[in-house]
Amino acid sequence: MIKLRKDKYSNMKQILPLIWITVLFAFPSKKEFSEAFIEVASNGNPAVVSIISEKVIKQRYHQFFSPFGDQFPQGEYRGHTLGSGVIIDAEEGYIITNNHVIEDAEEIKVIMFDKREVRATIVATDPPSDLAVIKVEPGGLSTVKLGNSDKLNVGEWVVAIGSPFGLHLNHTVTAGIVSAVGRSSVISRNNFEDFIQHDAAINPGNSGGALFNLDGELVGINTAIATDGYSRANAGVGFAIPINMVKRVMEDLISDGKVTRGWLGVQIQDVDEGMAKALRLKERNGAIISQVIKNSPAEDAGVEEQDVIIAVDGVKVGDSSNLKNLISSGRPDDKTKLTIIRDGHERNLIVILGTRPGEKELAETFRYGEKLFDVLGLRVETLENVDGKEMGVDSLDGIKVVDIKRGSSAYDNNIKRGDIITEVGKSIIKNKNDYKTELDAYSEGDTIMLRIVRNGSPLYVAFEIE
């Protein structure tokens, strides 16, 4: 037995050096580590551009601000701002950047890595996500491979490329690590924010520039830095829009000129310690429903106030901002599974997402607890106890216009309170359900024709929905 132990110990002494050699060679050498960054810079630089926008500049100081390239006192003046962008389609000449880089620009100039200067036009913008797509004439352009930002890990190395402080420093390459993911409420709670936080140095002028992983894949668009409120320089806290969100937004901007987002129709808030205790929750993840909008997708699906949504299609919900991003990343008519906790018990609900209204309409909807005006700008009600003969016709079905939104399509085309809508297109309207069903087939830019009865006389009205 003693001899066997000695032989075993002797064998271990021979194996240990081999283990150490294996471990040693498993890690990259200093040269190999440097070459990874060199390769990312070499491949990424040609696809990153500098963007000069001529505009009226309004400068503001805030603890969190978007890194512009202007260096002037507070106030309003005409001048140039500097930002960055990334070529995402070399064949078509599409470039992704931040909305704030080109917002209100009267002229946009793009400077390539090879120092060519070309003019650009705006394809479309999406202020809520601070993204924009601009276009240049294709030819001699380089592009990048898009990564998967959902696979980013905290502590992972990333490389930023942009034009901080001025054109004399364009295509500056910096490196750092991912400090956090899923950051929200950085710039505004009203925006769609799901930022990658990192400590690669970015400064004024880096806005719209690239954030790469060490595989050379584009994983984010640099957007903002955090400072102490006095300095405009980098303090090691930068934020990038994850590329998965960028993909979703830019697809809509290129194909439709606007972003169409899913909508649930609820007011939500974070779960605090008191709520978790009162609702018998095991943890504080999720978002609590504080209001369910009438006739919304949420109401139709059976969502109730005090429900806590903890997952969307199996993806866990961290807080209210996370839930807003998950729902808005869906599309209208998507069949979506909500996992909720109600009365201490977990259950699943299936909801058919609606179309998220514009910000003004959304504020109005939450204020009154229902969507007051439809896509035409009308508020209607089903006819009750109305004798057709009193209106000068033999019989009368339809819906009555009770209010009109000033400045809407219906308002501009002389629809009046008291008008009775009896047809939409070629479909007869008998009640609000008929009207809603027909109207769901229309959206902004479509032309609609209504048959109405006004003061006993039928007439047709046709107009484009704005």
Q: Is 130 a catalytic residue?
A: yes
Measured distance CA(463)–CA(409) in Å, rounded:
7
Q: How far apart are CA 119 and CA 109, in angstroms?
A: 5
Question: Measured on CA atoms in the order 77, 253, 109, 188, is the torsion positive or negative?
Answer: positive
Q: For residue 241, which phi and psi values (nearest 5 degrees)? A: -75, 125
For residue 241, what are the CA distances in angstroms to 84, 128, 218? 14, 12, 11
Angle at 365 between CA 374 and CA 323, to 5 degrees: 115
Map 295-360 to HEC letters. Answer: CCHHHHHCCCCCCEEEEECCEECCCHHHHHHHHHCCCCCCEEEEEEEECCEEEEEEEECEECCCHH
Q: Is the dihedral of CA 275, 278, 279, 280 positive or negative?
A: positive
Active site residue 207: yes
Burial class (CB in 10 A: 0-12, 13-18, 19+), 249: buried
User: DSSP class of residue 370?
Assistant: B
Rounded to the nearest 5 degrees, what angle is found at the Cα of 82, between the Cα atoms of 80 and 85? Answer: 135
Would you call 434 a catalytic residue per the annotation? no
**SS3 assignment, position 194:** coil
Using CA atoms, how far apart are residues 188 and 416, in angstroms rounded to an integer? Answer: 39
Say which of 50, 53, 84, 207 is annotated catalytic: 207
Among candidate residues 53, 126, 130, 296, the one labeled active-site is 130
Candidates 53, 66, 84, 100; catalytic one: 100
- Hey, which residues are catalytic here? 100, 130, 207
